[in-house]
Amino acid sequence: MLTKTDTGALTFPVPEPPATGEVTEIAPGILWARIPLPFRLNHINVYLIEDGEGWAVLDTGIGNEATRAVWSALVDGPLAGRRLTRLIVTHFHPDHIGLAGWLCERFGLALLTSQTSYLACANISLSPGALDAKPYREFYLRHGLDAETTQRVATQGHNYLRMVSGLPPTFERLVAGDRLAIGGRSFDVLTGNGHAPEQVMLYCAADNVFLAADQVLAKITPNISVWAVDPQGDPLGLYVRSLGELKRQIPADALVLPGHQLPFYGLHARSDQLIAHHETRCAAIAEACRTQPRSAAELVPVLFHRDLDPHQMSFAFSEVQAHINYMLRRGELAWVEGGDDVERVVAPVKRAAARKRPTAAPGRRRRAGNP
C-alpha cells in the first residue's frame, strides 16, 4: 500500500507537474507527461525519450478510454511532427502496462520490457480467475483475513484485465546489464524486485539521469506484497536488497525520474529513508508480537491506523505478510500453534532469535511454542 513517509533531504527541480495533455522537458531530450488514474494515487508519470526522429515512450497509464484520449492529445499536441518510435514498459502493473496493446497497435511500436513483466501480464490475461482457487483462498483465511476481503483478492485478476488493453504478440526482452541505445544516448538497464518482479529501470550515465519506475518514489513507499502463489516469498528482503544495489550503481546526485509524484534529487537519502521506514514497521510488529501471538490480519491495525475499505485492506494485509516473511527469515518472528485454524507469529526473546538466524529456512516452517 502506498504510504506517506518523511522526505527531508530531497530536492525537487520542478515543483509543478505538467498539466494533462502537456509535457515538461525535465532533462535534455526527455519529456515528462502525466496521465490521470482513477485511484487515490491519481496519476502516473510517463516519459518520452528523444529517439532519432521521434520519441521512445516509457510506460502507458491504464487501458481505458480516458488514457487513450490523453495519448491522442499528446500526439496531436506537444509531440506533433515527431512520431513515437517504441514503447518501454517498466513493470506489469496496470498503470504502467495497461495501454501497451493499444499503443503498439495504434502507432506501430515494438514493446521492450523484462521477460517477467511480459509473462506476468500474459499470465493474468490468459487466466484471470486463477487466484480464485482453494489453496489461495485458504492461504488468506488461514492468516486471518475476513471472507469479504478474501473474495476480493481471489477475484482481482478480473479487475486487472479491466485495466489492461492486451499485449502485442511479441516483445523485445530487456535484461539487467544490457545497454540500450535510445537516440544518441546509452542507457544501462537495471532490474529490481520487491514492488514487482524484474521491474526495469534505466540509467544514462552521461546525463546522470535515472528512470526509477516505482522502485524509489519521493513521498510514498511502493507497495510490497506477498501473494498466495508464493506464500513464503520475501519481497521485502528483495526490495531492501535492490535499494542497496541502486545505491552502489547510481550516483547520489542523479536526477531521479520516478513513476509517480515529482522528479527529485536525493536517491541515496531516499533509499535510506525507505529502508528505515520498513525497519520501523518491523519493530512495531515485533513489539506487538512480544506480548501475544498475532495473525497477519491482526497486525494490520499495528501498521495502518485508519479504517480500510476491502480494497485497501487487501493491500495492507499483503504488505503485513511481506514484513512477517522478512522477519521470519531474519529469525525475528516464529510461528505458533493457536487454538483455532488461524496461523499466528510471536517475537521470540532476543537470544533465541540470534541463535536461530543462520538456520531460518523459509520453505520449511517450524512451529515454535510461546517463548
Residues lying near Zn ion in the complex (CB under 5 A) = 93, 95, 214, 259
Q: How far apart are the C-alpha atoms of 325 and 316, rounded to whole Å? A: 14
Identity of residue 367? R
Which lies closer to Zn ion via its Cβ, residue 152 or residue 195? 195
Which lies closer to Zn ion via its Cβ, residue 95 or residue 234? 95
Least distance (Å) between residue 16 CB and Zn ion:
20
Cell 519493530 -> residue: 283
Compute CA distances 94 → 64, 115, 269, whole Å.
11, 16, 29
Least distance (Å) between residue 195 CB and Zn ion:
6
Q: How far apart are the C-alpha atoms of 156 and 129, rounded to whole Å? A: 8
Least distance (Å) between residue 42 CB and Zn ion:
12
Least distance (Å) between residue 269 CB and Zn ion:
22
Least distance (Å) between residue 258 CB and Zn ion:
9
Which lies closer to Zn ion via its Cβ, residue 211 or residue 333? 211
* φ, ψ of residue 256 in degrees (nearest 5): -100, 125
Cell 500526439 -> residue: 75
What b/e readout covers 4-29, taking b as 16+ CB neighbours within 10 angstroms?
ebebeebeeeeeebbeebebbebbeb
* The C-alpha cell that represents 300 in the structure block: 494490520
Q: What is the DSSP letter of 199?
A: E
Beta carbons of 263 and 32 less than 8 angstroms apart: yes
Least distance (Å) between residue 347 CB and Zn ion:
31
Q: How far apart are the C-alpha atoms of 331 and 329, rounded to whole Å? A: 5
Q: How far apart are the C-alpha atoms of 289 and 323, rounded to whole Å? A: 13
Outline where 155-234 has alpha helix (H).
156-162
Which lies closer to Zn ion via its Cβ, residue 218 or residue 346? 218
Least distance (Å) between residue 135 CB and Zn ion:
26
Supply the DSSP string of 81-133, one letter for each residue: TS-EEEEE---SSHHHHTTHHHHHHHHTPEEEE-HHHHHHHHHHHH-TTTTSS
Which lies closer to Zn ion via its Cβ, residue 117 or residue 321? 117
Question: Using CB atoms, what's the residue nearest to Zn ion?
Answer: 93
Q: How far apart are the C-alpha atoms of 208 and 37, rounded to whole Å? A: 29
Cell 482453494 -> residue: 134
Which lies closer to Zn ion via its Cβ, residue 215 or residue 321? 215
Which lies closer to Zn ion via its Cβ, residue 195 or residue 344? 195
Sign of the torsion angle spanned by Cα atoms 2, 195, 164, 114: positive
Which lies closer to Zn ion via its Cβ, residue 214 or residue 298? 214
Which lies closer to Zn ion via its Cβ, residue 185 or residue 317? 317
Least distance (Å) between residue 193 CB and Zn ion:
12
Least distance (Å) between residue 159 CB and Zn ion:
15
